[in-house]
Amino acid sequence: MKYELLIFDWDGTLMDSVGRIVSSMQATAAHLSLPIPSDTQVRDIIGLSLEPAIERLFGTLDSERYSQFLARYRDQYVEFDPTPTPLFAGVREMLGDLRAQGYQLAVATGKARRGLQRVWQETDMAHYFDVSRCADESISKPDPRMLYELLEETQCSLDKALMIGDSIHDLRMAQAAGMDRVGVDFGVHSAQQLTAYAPLAVLSSWQQFPALLSGKHG
């Protein structure tokens, strides 16, 4: 195998959660009487940690307002918003096959640890992954710190790791680390946007991924 470690983003890559993130962010803004961002504006910050994402959408909030935003957004996403967040088609089977083939699997996400643990519990997905790094444990994408930490934890060399994500933040992070990368176009950013960051490929479904790993893609 050319690669030993496969590092996946979560939202918009393995889980179809973009719609709920967008609607929850907009509802939170409305609740707090902040300007309501457009769908595109919210999609463009998905993948970032919440603090830089909120600053990009609303400017710098004072500490009390920021705390209010975090609390309301968390409640909105977890409790109030009914938008479904299924795994993308074929994800569970694909991850099982990859583990059976001997790959180490990891997650590098803009979610906080609490959020990732919650969705892992809801979906029974934790056992597929050897390691993970969350936004509240490292520096926000596109800084490559998350990737360096995962490489160190798994004792994997840079040339044996592959980053897979749906956003330009994922691909910029991998590019900054000098890591090979693959985009998927069914999340937040288009194939055209992702191609600007020199991925090996941009996939339109997970069914294409095994062929890419085996060198038969394209």
Q: Which positions are catalytic?
A: 9, 11
- For helices 18-31 and 63-75, angle between their N-to-C axes, nearest 10 degrees: 130
SS3 74: helix
Q: Return the biggest CA–CA distance within the chain.
A: 53
Look up residue 37 and give its amino acid: P
Could you tell me which residues come within 8 angstroms of residue 137 by beta carbon, excluding any fewer than 6 positions away?
A: 113
What is d(CA 108, CA 80) in angstroms, rounded to the nearest whole number? 26
What is d(CA 7, CA 132) in angstroms, rounded to the nearest whole number? 9
Could you tell me which residues come within 8 angstroms of residue 178 by beta carbon, excluding any fewer than 6 positions away?
A: 158
Distances (CA, A) of 7 to 86, 93, 95, 165, 170: 20, 17, 11, 9, 10
What is d(CA 112, CA 115) in angstroms, rounded to the nearest whole number? 5
